[in-house]
Chains A and B, each alone.
Chain A
Amino acid sequence: MAFCTVFYLTFLGDGVPSDLPIAVVDLDNSSTSRNFVRQLDATQLGRVVRYADYSSARAALQSGKVTSVCVIPEGFNRNIQSQRQPSVGIYVNGLYFLGGSLGWKDLLTMVNLTSGAVQREVLQMKGVPDSEIMGLLRPIDVDVHQIGNPTMNYGAYLANMMIPGMLQMVVIIVLIYSLGAELKYGTSRHLLDSVENDIHVAVLGKTILYTVLFTLIGWTVELILYKWMHFPLAGSLWQMLLACFLLVIAAESVAILIIGCVPVCRFALSIGALYSVLGLSLTGFTLPVEVMPAGLRGLTMMYPLRHYYAMYVQVGIFGSDFGQWYVYVLALLAFCFLPLPVMRRLGNAYRNLNYERN
């Protein structure tokens, strides 16, 4: 868990990539094209890598070495001066999602700026005063507000859900193992004897310990995220700590359900692993749930992380009040009823040890 936290927090660096290699094939080699390349290189995002011809740049694009290629045609400068509208070629490898789309955006911006620069020159020559030029060059502008992540920090976006996702995974696996190991090593009878044969007390006792442990781990992580790394959080931290606690107990309930249904340690672990790995995708924080096929949308409700995410959106992004997110608290609490129907079965397995041990 600590390893994961360190990974997701350090892997993405400062959350916004910089010095992304962008290939440029400059067939013109004029002052205008060189200026274009220099300015592209100077953008925060881009770092220009020069290629002599298109085919070598294309090979680099295909291999993912660069995620976007810009071809400046021959006669670029001459054609601009004579208003013959030269065309810049932009090639993007969309298989590298982030790199591709960012490089594409950077190149489009540069081309539009170049057009703007040429127009400004023309307008200046015609004697239009500088104060009016801006309005003429850019009649409409857009003011973008990113609610909940104003710096577009990819690291914050990812860590906010990947780390709780890992927590869900670890809780499920560890608890299944802990309950299953009693069966595997035949110590469950001893455990039952010590609590006067009450399976509820036995499971509850084991679970309380893990609840405290995992909640503390989860809280530590959230403190790191929101207090130390200062990831944006619109609502109160206490609400997120509550969500984390609920996530832990909901995930534990799922674990008990799994081991209760299949009281064989290794099968339960395999099922738990298959279930929790898929949970990261089904939460819908990367590909939103509404895009998934209808049948799967219901399935996403089966994951505590999904409700945690919904609650995070309300608390962390919108800073809503209780009325908006109490539903998710109830949903997470509802998971706690899951173990009830299988308790008897688990109790019998604990007492009789009548399942395969391995």
Chain B
Amino acid sequence: MKTNYVKAWFQDALGIFNHELKNILQDGGVMIIFVVAGFLYPILYNFVYKNGILEETPIAVVDDAACADSRRLIREMDATREISIERRCTDMEEAKDLFQKRKVNGIIYFPSDFGDRLAARETATFSIYADMSSFLYYKNLLMGSEFVMLHEINAIKVERMRLDGLTDAQADASVRAVRYEDVNPYNRAFSYSIFLISAILLLIIQQVMFYGMSMSVGTMREENRSFASLPDTYTGHGVGRVVLGRGAVYWLIFMIIGIYVACIVPALFGFPQRGRFSDIFLLLTIFVTVCVFFSMTWTTLVTRRESAFLLFLFMSPICVFLTGFSWPTTAFPGFWKVFSWLFPSTFGCQAFINLNTAGAGLEVVVPQLQALCLQGAIYFILACGAIYVENFVLKYRAASQKD
């Protein structure tokens, strides 16, 4: 008896599996989403963000001081990676005009008393005007000019102390009483692409699966073949078969896409891959499983083929922010923090960043994996419940139609 049940279970699950697979393969729209979005999107995004570092931001200089010091500062700024002095203007009006026409993305201005103040041992101030239309312009202008400024400050101080009779070593020790070493091991140059791409790769998997599944589910609903219908032979039970049988199809497809997205794409684009393959594979296995149940639960709301796009397309960019890759998680308002727990991507992307790009071991991502497992369990129960309820409603409707 027992073996019979298990055997029947597997036979049914396999039947459902085959049926679903056939459905997906025959549905052009779903295949477009899976193939185009699943395979092309990661490449496209990598291509867009291929050069993640903005270098040599064009800057205009207005040098009213025209002294040796200001000229040296300008030369040194021009030499930084961040800044390129494109224009030298005679007055601010000219520079402003270039700024507005977007020939330059910033202005550096040395007032006429700059040299005099330095000579008088007072604080000499120069001004920078940054274009805030993109934060990267601002970052470049600020970093470039601050590095040069700090370097100059130290040089000037050492020079003055030597004039006061200190030795080089003494002067240096007093100027730089505390030294520092800064290390930015995972993203050395603050490259935009490294941080963005590691956050969105797994998100692509989740979104593609969700849109694909809702398209397929919506079609079935339109044709009155519900995703939820159970084999008629089992009244009331058999939910597990349906969920797992159908889920297995998506799981298989997305493990393939997942390995492509998480392992092959980064390799194609020479993206850092510091994690161990086995760790990433484990993460993918859990993540894809959770995504399957997540999509199954939410697609209950989808009644038509197209409605997923109308209802949920705008969620994709929001999910990107919810992963906390840009705006720090600690600064999330409470409500959005809880809201972010709804999505597998929140934990999946964080774990992926840590494993793949920061090269952490599995022990570091344990909290995220636990959260994913918990999410998986909850969504599994919800998916079963949703299918059970829908099946019940369908049967009830069919029965009342007969009467």
Decide yes or no whether A324 CB sits under 8 A from chain B: yes
Which of B137, B327, B360 has the most CB atoms of chain A within a 10 A radius of its CB? B327
Q: Is the CB of B358 within 8 A of A62?
A: yes
Given A85-B179, A96-B325, A143-B126, A287:B310 Cβ within 8 A:
no
Which chain B residue shows the least CB distance to A136?
B121
The number of chain B residues touching the other chain, given as a range, is 35 or more
Cβ 8 A contact of B138, one of A94, A146, A281: A146
Decide yes or no whether A263 CB sits under 8 A from chain B: no
Decide yes or no whether A84 CB sits under 8 A from chain B: yes
Q: Is the CB of A291 within 8 A of B178?
A: no
B202 shortest CB reach to chain A, Å: 14
A40 shortest CB reach to chain B, Å: 13
In the assembled complex, which residues on chain B have CB atoms less than 8 Å from the CB atom of A19?
Answer: 330-331
Q: How far is the CA of A136 from the CA of B134 in the complex (A)?
A: 35
Interface string of B112-125 (1 = CB under 8 A from A): 00000010111111
Decide yes or no whether B392 CB sits under 8 A from chain A: no
A125 shortest CB reach to chain B, Å: 11
B145 shortest CB reach to chain A, Å: 6
In the assembled complex, which residues on chain B have CB atoms less than 8 Å from the CB atom of A96?
Answer: 195, 324-326, 328
Which chain B residue shows the least CB distance to A285?
B134
Interface string of A261-286 (1 = CB under 8 A from B): 00001110110111011101110111
Decide yes or no whether A144 CB sits under 8 A from chain B: yes
Q: Is the CB of B178 within 8 A of A88?
A: yes
Cβ 8 A contact of B33, one of A59, A270, A309: A270
Which of B133, B136, B182, B306 has the most CB atoms of chain A within a 10 A radius of its CB? B133
Residues of A163-186 whose CB lies within 8 A of B: 165-166, 169-170, 173-174, 177, 180
Binds A, one of B47-55, B253-261, B279-287, B289-297: B47-55
Q: Is the CB of B47 within 8 A of A293?
A: yes
Q: How far is the CA of A271 from the CA of B73 in the complex (A)?
A: 52
Decide yes or no whether B403 CB sits under 8 A from chain A: no
A98 shortest CB reach to chain B, Å: 5
Decide yes or no whether B130 CB sits under 8 A from chain A: yes
Given A86-B179, A140-B126, A281:B45 Cβ within 8 A:
yes
Which of A87, A99, A282 has the most CB atoms of chain B within a 10 A radius of its CB? A99
Interface string of B166-196 (1 = CB under 8 A from A): 0000101111111111111111111111111
Q: Is the CB of B325 within 8 A of A95?
A: yes
Q: How far is the CA of A330 from the CA of B174 in the complex (A)?
A: 61
Given A140-B126, A142-B145, A149:B48 Cβ within 8 A:
no
In the assembled complex, which residues on chain B have CB atoms less than 8 Å from the CB atom of A91?
Answer: 182-185
A130 shortest CB reach to chain B, Å: 14
Q: Is the CB of A317 within 8 A of B52?
A: no
In the assembled complex, which residues on chain B have CB atoms less than 8 Å from the CB atom of A142?
Answer: 125-128, 145-146, 149
Q: Is the CB of B179 within 8 A of A7?
A: no
Q: Is the CB of B195 within 8 A of A95?
A: yes
Residues of B141-179 whose CB lies within 8 A of A: 142, 145-146, 149-150, 152-153, 156-157, 160, 170, 172-179
Cβ 8 A contact of B190, one of A101, A284, A358: A101
Q: Is the CB of B157 within 8 A of A136?
A: yes
Q: Is the CB of B133 within 8 A of A313?
A: yes
Q: Is the CB of A145 within 8 A of B53?
A: no
In the assembled complex, which residues on chain B have CB atoms less than 8 Å from the CB atom of A285?
Answer: 133-134
Decide yes or no whether A348 CB sits under 8 A from chain B: no
In the assembled complex, which residues on chain B have CB atoms less than 8 Å from the CB atom of A276?
Answer: 313
Q: Is the CB of A95 within 8 A of B309?
A: no
In the assembled complex, which residues on chain A have CB atoms less than 8 Å from the CB atom of B185?
Answer: 91, 93
A93 shortest CB reach to chain B, Å: 6
Which chain B residue shows the least CB distance to A60?
B364
Q: How far is the CA of A221 from the CA of B371 in the complex (A)?
A: 36
Which chain B residue shows the least CB distance to A161?
B133
Which chain A residue shows the least CB distance to B48?
A281
In the assembled complex, which residues on chain A have CB atoms less than 8 Å from the CB atom of B262?
Answer: none
Q: Is the CB of B215 within 8 A of A266?
A: yes
A225 shortest CB reach to chain B, Å: 15
Binds B, one of A10-18, A189-197, A210-218: A10-18
Given A90-B180, A142-B126, A292-B48, A84:B149 Cβ within 8 A:
no
In the assembled complex, which residues on chain A have CB atoms less than 8 Å from the CB atom of B132?
Answer: 146-149, 152, 157, 317
Cβ 8 A contact of A87, one of B137, B179, B306: B179
Cβ 8 A contact of B181, one of A87, A99, A149, A293: A87
Q: Is the CB of A140 within 8 A of B306?
A: no
Which of A85, A154, A285 has the most CB atoms of chain B within a 10 A radius of its CB? A85
Q: Is the CB of B47 within 8 A of A104?
A: no
Q: Is the CB of B178 within 8 A of A111?
A: yes
Q: Is the CB of B328 within 8 A of A17?
A: yes
Q: How far is the CA of A136 from the CA of B124 in the complex (A)?
A: 11
In the assembled complex, which residues on chain A have CB atoms less than 8 Å from the CB atom of B189?
Answer: 94
Q: How far is the CA of A119 from the CA of B176 in the complex (A)?
A: 8
Decide yes or no whether B270 CB sits under 8 A from chain A: no
Q: Is the CB of A139 within 8 A of B327?
A: no
Residues of B352-368 whose CB lies within 8 A of A: 353-354, 357-360, 363-365, 367
In the assembled complex, which residues on chain A have CB atoms less than 8 Å from the CB atom of B137?
Answer: 288
Given A277-B316, A313-B102, A358-B219, A94:B364 Cβ within 8 A:
no
In the assembled complex, which residues on chain B have CB atoms less than 8 Å from the CB atom of A43?
Answer: none
Given A59-B364, A89-B183, A114-B177, A324:B123 Cβ within 8 A:
no
Given A94-B190, A97-B190, A288-B134, A115:B145 Cβ within 8 A:
no
Decide yes or no whether B211 CB sits under 8 A from chain A: yes
Interface string of B316-334 (1 = CB under 8 A from A): 1110010011111111110
Decide yes or no whether B66 CB sits under 8 A from chain A: no
Cβ 8 A contact of B123, one of A95, A140, A162: A140
Given A17-B328, A97-B326, A162-B317, A118:B126 Cβ within 8 A:
no
Decide yes or no whether A346 CB sits under 8 A from chain B: no
Which chain A residue shows the least CB distance to B100?
A318
Decide yes or no whether A253 CB sits under 8 A from chain B: no
Q: Which residues of B contact A (CB under 8 A)?
A: 28-29, 32-33, 36-37, 41, 44-45, 47-54, 73, 99-102, 118, 120-139, 142, 145-146, 149-150, 152-153, 156-157, 160, 170, 172-196, 198, 211, 215, 219, 222, 305-306, 309-310, 313-314, 316-318, 321, 324-333, 335-336, 350, 353-354, 357-360, 363-365, 367
Across the A-B interface, give the 4 residue pairs with the lowest CB-CB distance, nearest first.
A94-B187, A118-B177, A149-B132, A99-B328
Question: With contacts A101-B139, A111-B178, A317-B133 known, what are 15 further pairs, Cβ within 8 A?
Answer: A10-B336, A85-B173, A90-B183, A96-B324, A97-B195, A118-B174, A135-B123, A139-B160, A146-B132, A147-B129, A270-B32, A273-B309, A277-B313, A288-B137, A291-B52
